[in-house]
């Protein structure tokens, strides 16, 4: 009986799959949405960070007297008077070592002091009065520095199968290009901010985070508190792109400042500090060797990459994870190494690992296609992996072939003439390029609670965040669908670590995990109503009457989710990206004129917000291909372009109309059938553009970004 009740409720609502407007949109455009920097308390103080101006060495002396005597200053905290803190265990959501614990300098821009004052202006003025004498050391800033420690298999994801050497020896055609990708900085529009407040031993933090529960865990360990003594709030987050997946030193410093001054403290990073304080995509050097028969069958793939790591950090990402699974090849080896340097801590950035790794692989495949005289799309279809190449198990769902076909048809790939420099539009050179995209999402455990009151309104809660992909909206749809309620009678609340714990909003896993937990909670709630009804009808119109009959103000139920382990299958998110470029032959200027992204996203809960995710990721991919490059001085490690005037991102004039197609069936890995798409949105865009540039110009640019001078 309960199963029939649940089915009827879902059929009544019909919200899943609807292109619904964002439920949080009005709050954002009217200013009602409160971001971390918008929160304050009575007697609020403000903190400003002082950073090192060398990359290696020690602090010989630090003069704070002038700052301490400055107007409005409440405290100046350095390594000399900071409390001793505990480093939280490494892992996702946990940041670098706690700040101000000794006099060592390990990177340029390291936090070496924090000034707390009554106003932000007074704190900033006092911070400029601090004088620091250093004992500098020669920094390690280059991947080739012989003094630097090299860490092999850094992400513990190196993978191999078959005999690569034998495969290459037997290949008819071998290509072995090397690609470089630059440092890129996440740069969300909203500056990261933390507001910290102590009530005895209870710590409340408003923070720019992608995971309140992870933030709470880290802060609890750092300050030696039980997790129940820490509350993290983040109902709205102004973007993050992965930078909010860790608990950074400035968050700890805000809490330290609040404890030292016995006042609530707000700390907002400057734009320049965002470049050194909340991570970045590390630069890479990657060599991809492909061996194939003359018929285009891959017989060997060897992909090795190297990237920097900070001296005292556990962050690592794999550059070759997609290489192991995208194509059916009997002999394959993928390896990622790191070199520990005097650089700030890197972190995840949209499409971590896959974005730069797939760029190298897909550009190398394009080179192989030209060497073979074969259509790049045909080469990929000829090596299509029907099953997981490494494990041999079937995919839980895979619609990549449909993505190729639908994307190519919509793009007009058949109009491409194969020779480089063979297509023009007036005086402009025109190029077509394409690439495959993959992201191996992980669905972490998640919990949620659903409550239905006498007013007929459902409230769903979970300690998740929404950094912009539309979490508020899609969870409203899932809950409304399950309970048979219209969206205006469903309220989803998130961003509070006191709510049922949720997964991080990262790795394309939250929508699947959270929607499944909410679905489970709503099913449990319907079962509870069915038990109270004792065989009577349970519909959206009877909830209030059932509660009244039993003298209840509301009824609640908890739900949980985890990735299914009973399926003998491998999960994966796939896409095909097609790009058209125009290149000015005299100036070398590249303009992306068309993009088609065909995505295997499982069941799409909201086509409007899902398409918005793909458009946003594509925009980031255009920046990755043509514009973005964080520059540092090779001798000192100082970031040289830490402003939006100097660090170029794609703006409206750089972004054409982006055509988004969704393909595929619901994924059985979770009851809602969802695959995350936030990460795969950027993967494959840069190589599609780079391959289009080669087709247009005949110039193979193996380093990003593709600047005009490289084409002249």
Residues classed as catalytic = 679
What SS3 state is found at 568? coil
Helix (H) or strand (E) holding 533, with range, is: helix 510-533
What SS3 state is found at 667? coil
Q: Rounded to whole angstroms, how far apart are CA atoms 128 and 350?
A: 35
Q: Rounded to whole angstroms, how far apart are CA atoms 409 and 404?
A: 8
- Strand 298-310, strand 332-341: pairing: parallel
- Structure tokens that stand for 513 in this block: 């995990």
- Strand 332-341, strand 202-207: pairing: unpaired
Residue partners of 429: CB distance under 8 A and separation at least 6: 421, 423, 582, 583, 584, 585, 696, 697
Q: Rounded to whole angstroms, how far apart are CA atoms 363 and 284?
A: 15
Which among 621, 636, 510 has a CA at the least distance from the CA of 563? 510
Q: Rounded to whole angstroms, how far apart are CA atoms 519 and 513?
A: 10
- Structure tokens that stand for 518 in this block: 């909410």
Q: Rounded to whole angstroms, how far apart are CA atoms 561 and 446?
A: 5
**CA–CA distances in Å: residue 287 to residues 176, 284, 335, 364, 585:** 7, 10, 10, 9, 29
Give me Rg for the CA atoms of the chain.
27
Q: Rounded to whole angstroms, how far apart are CA atoms 435 and 577?
A: 5
Q: Rounded to whole angstroms, how far apart are CA atoms 217 and 226?
A: 9
DSSP, residue by residue, 406-427? HHHHHHTGGG--SSTT--EETT
User: Any long-range contacts for 2-9 (C-beta under 8 Å, 24+ apart)?
Assistant: 2/526, 2/527, 2/530, 5/526, 5/529, 5/530, 5/538, 6/482, 6/523, 6/526, 8/484, 8/539, 9/481, 9/482, 9/483, 9/484, 9/526, 9/538, 9/539, 9/540
- End-to-end C-alpha distance for the chain, whole angstroms: 72
Q: Rounded to whole angstroms, how far apart are CA atoms 175 and 374?
A: 14
Angle of helix 685-697 relative to helix 354-372, nearest 10 degrees, comes to 30
Q: Rounded to whole angstroms, how far apart are CA atoms 25 and 23?
A: 6
Q: Rounded to whole angstroms, how far apart are CA atoms 398 and 416?
A: 27
CA angle at residue 497 from 494 to 503, to 5 degrees?
70
CA angle at residue 597 from 595 to 603, to 5 degrees?
155
Helix (H) or strand (E) holding 113, with range, is: strand 111-117
Q: Rounded to whole angstroms, how far apart are CA atoms 457 and 415?
A: 54
Tokens 């997946």 locate to 245
Rounded to 10 degrees, the C-alpha dihedral 361/365/366/370 comes to: 150
Q: Rounded to whole angstroms, how far apart are CA atoms 8 and 481?
A: 10
């Amino acid at each position: 009986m309960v199963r029939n009740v649940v089915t009827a409720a879902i059929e009544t609502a019909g919200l899943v799959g609807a292109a619904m407007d964002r439920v949080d949109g009005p709050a954002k455009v009217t200013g009602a949405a409160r971001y971390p920097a918008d929160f304050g308390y009575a007697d609020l103080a403000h903190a400003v960070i002082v950073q090192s101006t060398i990359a290696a060495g020690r602090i010989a002396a630090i003069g704070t007297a002038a700052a301490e005597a400055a107007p409005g200053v409440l405290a100046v905290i350095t390594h000399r008077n900071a409390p001793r803190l505990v480093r939280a265990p490494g892992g996702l959501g946990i940041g670098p070592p706690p700040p101000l614990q000794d006099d060592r300098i390990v990177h340029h821009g390291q936090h070496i002091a924090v000034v707390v004052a009554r106003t932000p202006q007074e704190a900033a003025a006092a911070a400029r009065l601090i004088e620091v004498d250093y004992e500098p050391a020669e920094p390690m800033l280059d991947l080739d520095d012989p003094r630097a420690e090299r860490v092999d298999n850094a992400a513990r994801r190196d993978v191999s199968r078959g005999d690569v050497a034998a495969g290459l020896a037997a290949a008819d055609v071998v290509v072995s290009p090397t690609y470089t990708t630059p440092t890129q900085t996440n740069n969300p529009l909203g500056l990261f901010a933390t507001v910290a407040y102590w009530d005895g031993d209870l710590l409340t933090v408003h923070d720019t985070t992608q995971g309140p529960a992870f933030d709470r865990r880290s802060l609890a360990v750092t300050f030696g508190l039980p997790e129940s003594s820490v509350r993290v709030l983040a109902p709205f987050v102004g973007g993050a792109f992965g930078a909010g997946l860790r608990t950074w030193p400035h968050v700890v410093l805000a809490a330290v400042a609040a404890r030292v001054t016995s006042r609530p403290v707000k700390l907002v990073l400057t734009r320049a500090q965002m470049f050194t304080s909340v991570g970045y995509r590390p630069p890479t050097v990657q060599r991809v060797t492909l061996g194939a028969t003359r018929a285009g069958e891959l017989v060997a793939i060897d992909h090795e990459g190297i990237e920097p790591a900070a001296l005292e950090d556990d962050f690592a990402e794999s550059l070759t994870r997609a290489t192991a699974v995208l194509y059916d090849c009997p002999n394959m080896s993928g390896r990622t190494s790191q070199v520990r340097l005097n650089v700030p801590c890197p972190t995840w950035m949209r499409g971590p690992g896959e974005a730069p790794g797939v760029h190298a692989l897909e550009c190398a495949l394009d080179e192989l296609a030209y060497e073979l005289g074969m259509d790049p799309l045909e080469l990929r279809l000829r090596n299509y992996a029907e099953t997981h190449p490494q494990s041999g198990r079937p995919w839980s769902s895979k619609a990549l072939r449909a993505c190729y076909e639908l994307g190519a048809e919509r793009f007009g790939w058949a109009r491409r003439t194969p020779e480089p420099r063979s297509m023009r539009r007036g005086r402009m050179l025109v190029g077509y390029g394409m690439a495959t995209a993959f992201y191996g999402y992980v669905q972490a455990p998640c919990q949620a609670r659903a409550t239905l009151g006498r007013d007929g309104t459902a409230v769903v809660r979970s300690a998740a965040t929404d950094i912009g992909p539309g979490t508020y909206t899609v969870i409203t749809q899932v809950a409304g669908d399950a309970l048979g309620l219209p969206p205006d009678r469903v309220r989803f609340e998130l961003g509070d670590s006191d709510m049922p714990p949720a997964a991080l909003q990262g790795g394309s896993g939250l929508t699947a995990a959270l929607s499944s937990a909410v679905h489970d909670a709503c099913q449990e709630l319907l079962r509870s109503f069915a038990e109270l009804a004792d065989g009577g009808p349970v519909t959206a119109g009877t909830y209030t009457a059932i509660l009244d009959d039993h003298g209840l103000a509301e009824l609640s139920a908890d739900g949980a989710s985890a990735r299914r382990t009973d399926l003998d299958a491998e999960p994966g998110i796939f896409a095909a990206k097609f790009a058209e470029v125009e290149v000015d032959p005299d100036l070398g200027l590249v303009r992306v004129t068309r993009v088609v992204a065909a995505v295997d996203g499982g069941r799409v809960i909201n086509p409007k917000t899902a398409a918005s995710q793909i458009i946003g990721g594509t925009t980031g991919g255009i920046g990755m291909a043509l514009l973005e490059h964080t520059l540092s001085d090779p001798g000192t490690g100082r970031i040289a372009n830490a402003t939006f005037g100097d660090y170029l991102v794609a703006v409206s004039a750089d972004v054409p109309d982006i055509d988004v197609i969704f393909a595929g069936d619901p994924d059985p890995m979770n009851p809602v059938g969802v695959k995350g798409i936030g990460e795969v949105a950027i993967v494959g865009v840069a190589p599609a553009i780079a391959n289009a540039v080669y087709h247009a110009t005949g110039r193979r640019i193996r380093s990003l970004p593709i600047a005009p001078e490289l084409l002249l």
